Amino acid sequence: MELDIYQTDALNELGNIGAAHAATTLAQMLMSPVEMTVPEVKVVDIADVYQYIGDEISALVVFQIQGDLADGGYIVVSMPVSAVIELTNMMLGTAGSDRELTEMDQSAVIEIGNIMISAFLDSTAELLGIVMLPSPPALAVDMAHAAFQSIIAQMAADVNEVVIFSTELQSDAPPVYGSIFLLPNPELLREIIRLLEALVAT
């Protein structure tokens, strides 16, 4: 699978729109500005995924992309455990930063993931004129790579590469840091590229 420079640019732009909407919803929840890095699209060999996603312990909220394409791939919000605790402390008025994640923290991160990902998919799907909906979320608090690897095992039986599409979001007060990863399956990716090229042509 190779993406030419125009396709990469178009996907970057799509990611920009999605991530900007996700960042806005996060900023509203935090009542604080959220900065975002320019999205990056990479075609990664499955054997090299560990170079991009390490084994640090994170909270990962995972959604399957549904809608016009029944099984479009996955979209993931990943936050370090410390950032999740900052978020819950702020949202629920709890205190203490050096603790394990409670059930309350877990519900909060799932809810935040839900809101951010809905904004991401809504805005990109609207641009493309298709329906993309998140499945109910699944949560893993674990080594980030172990969770990714399980997702890849689910989607990549006959392919050896995945397209990883990542943006980082950051707020200073409270100090919250997280990433959004999009792992489209080949059909969704082809469809997105086709629709983007049609958009540019008109």
Partner 1 sequence: MEKRFFVEENAVVIGIGDYRVGSFPMATVGLGSCVALILHDARRSVGGLAHIMLPESRGSPTDRPGKFADTALCALLGEMEALGCTRGSIVARLVGGASMFEYSGTSLNIGERNVEAIRSLLQGRRLRIDAEETGGKFGRSVIYRPAEGGRTTVKRADGICFDL
Q: Which residues bind partner 1 (CB under 8 A)?
A: 45-57, 62, 64, 135-136, 138-140, 142-154, 156-158, 160
Instruction: Report the nearest approach of partner 1 to the CB of residue 83 (Å).
Output: 16
**Closer to partner 1 by Cβ: residue 151 or 193:** 151
Beta-carbon count within 10 A of 131 CB: 13
- Minimal distance in Å, beta carbon 35 to partner 1? 20
Nearer to partner 1, 156 or 199 (CB): 156
| Nearer CB in complex with partner 1: 95/157 | 157
Q: How far is the CB of 139 from partner 1 (least distance, A)?
A: 7
Q: Are 155 and 182 in contact (CB under 8 A)?
A: no
Half-sphere exposure of 151 (CA within 13 A, CB side): 31
Question: At its nearest, how many Å lie between partner 1 and the CB of residue 61?
Answer: 10
Q: Which one, 104 or 200, has the nearer CB to partner 1?
A: 104
Q: What are the strands, taking DSSP E only, across the chain?
A: 35-36, 40-45, 57-67, 73-80, 132-134, 138-143, 161-171, 176-184
Q: What is the CA radius of gyration of the chain?
A: 17
